[in-house]
A = this chain, B = another copy of it.
Amino acid sequence: MTHSRFKLPELERFIEDAMVALGFPKKDSHVIAQLMTQADLQGSDGHGIFRLAPYTKRIQAGAINLHPQIKILKEKPAMALVDGDNGMGHLVMKYATELAIQKAKNTGIAWVGSQYSNHAGPASLYAKMALEHDMLGLYFAVGNANHLPAWGGLDMLLSTNPIAAAIPTLREIPIVLDMATTVAAYGKVKAKAQNGEMMPEGWMVDQEGKPLLDPNQSDKGFLLPIGGYKGYGLSMIVGILAGALNGAAMGRDVIDFNKDASSVTNTGQAIVIIDPDAFGDIQVFKQQIDQFIQDIKASRKMPGVERIWLPGEQSHLKKLDHLQFGVALSPALIEQLGQLAQALSISPLKAASSH
């Protein structure tokens, strides 16, 4: 069986129907469906409709609040702490990001953190919301499972805590960085296991610090942070900014949402919005970024390198492809979504084409 392609409106319709069937208000279902579909649109495969089944499991276990009162707990001119009231992370972080954008217009920069949020999809979704306002976005999150110990340790106290950044441009594709602070995200390990492939050296180590290559043994080892002890420090700082600062879980308080579908996660995230117009002329800024991108693209290449990529360029190209041809889903995922449609009594997902 081959992958099939699905058009964006159909993916969004399906997710929205599922959310409504699960008991979310129509309006919230629409927002969640839009953001999850955007994840698939930009090629963040592990963060879009792929998550619908695990989300459903958590929602049906009563671990997500269907009617959260998302509200500001603490506020100053350039910051806020948002209480997500254990709602879907997408709703919480859309609220937080829109608040930060509003604040940044007055203060030049704004920082909004969340507590009692949940998994919100790919980090770049929220950082990118700044772009349509000609602003810069930075995003930090505590990952929903601890996959690495302290540097030299064995107890898993840190997560893949991701960082995203979005930088507006004039004519070039915006720069969008979206990275875990580990060499590989855990989803990539799962994909290797599914495909029956070994992992390259450098992704994981076992309890003795030796390379772990078999993804089916991933339970017996740890992800490696980028740059060794540097990535360990970076993951920690991201965890503090997104977690501890917001009164959200970090360290031993993090719930492993792969193993526990019923506990409240108290997920923490942070969105930072910067208005470049406060620092100077926005046109000049965007021209400088364009020039920098052009310098990088015009750069001489290492032997064997066909093209130099800017962060966000590949996902932009995926977006163009997906808009035209739809998003390709694997047979296993299609089957899972078929079962979900039956269980929730919603119309099954209709493929655009097979290829």
Q: Could you list which residues of chain A lie within 8 angstroms of chain B, going by C-beta atoms? A: 74, 76-79, 81, 106-111, 113, 136, 149-155, 157, 163, 165, 167, 175, 177, 179, 183, 207-209, 226-227, 229-234, 236-237, 240-241, 244-247, 250-252, 274-276, 278-280, 284-285, 288-289, 291-292, 295-296, 299-305, 307-311
Contacts and interface: CB of A to CB of B under 8 A. Distances in A.
Contacts of A226: 226-227, 230-231
Given A106-B77, A108-B78, A240-B167, A311 B113 contact: no
Given A76-B278, A155-B300, A300-B154, A292 B244 contact: yes
Contact of A296 (B109, B150, B207, B288): B150
Given A81-B279, A274-B245, A152 B76 contact: no
Nearest to A240: B167
Contacts of A107: 76-79, 107
B302 A237 contact: no
B274 A177 contact: no
B279 A245 contact: yes
Given A230-B179, A250-B292, A108 B245 contact: no
Given A79-B278, A108-B76, A177 B234 contact: yes
A151 B81 CA distance: 37
A203 to B, nearest CB: 11
Nearest to A289: B244
Nearest to A207: B302
Chain copies in complex: 2
Contact of A302 (B113, B154, B303): B154
Contacts of A252: 295
Contacts of A288: 244, 250
Nearest to A154: B300
B183 A251 contact: no
B251 A292 contact: yes
Contacts of A79: 107-109, 274, 278-279
Given A231-B227, A278-B76, A295 B111 contact: no
A154 B314 CA distance: 21
Contact of A245 (B77, B208, B232, B276): B276
Given A157-B299, A209-B303, 17 more contacts: A77-B107, A78-B110, A81-B279, A136-B245, A150-B296, A152-B309, A153-B308, A154-B301, A155-B295, A175-B240, A177-B233, A177-B236, A209-B304, A226-B230, A232-B311, A245-B276, A247-B284
A299 B81 CA distance: 31
A138 to B, nearest CB: 8
A149 B274 CA distance: 27
A288 B236 CA distance: 13
Nearest to A247: B280
A208 to B, nearest CB: 5
Looking at A108, A157, A179, A276, which has the most chain B CB atoms within 10 Å of its CB? A108
Nearest to A305: B152
7 contacts: A77-B107, A111-B274, A165-B237, A209-B304, A232-B311, A245-B276, A247-B279
Contacts of A291: 251
B231 A311 contact: no
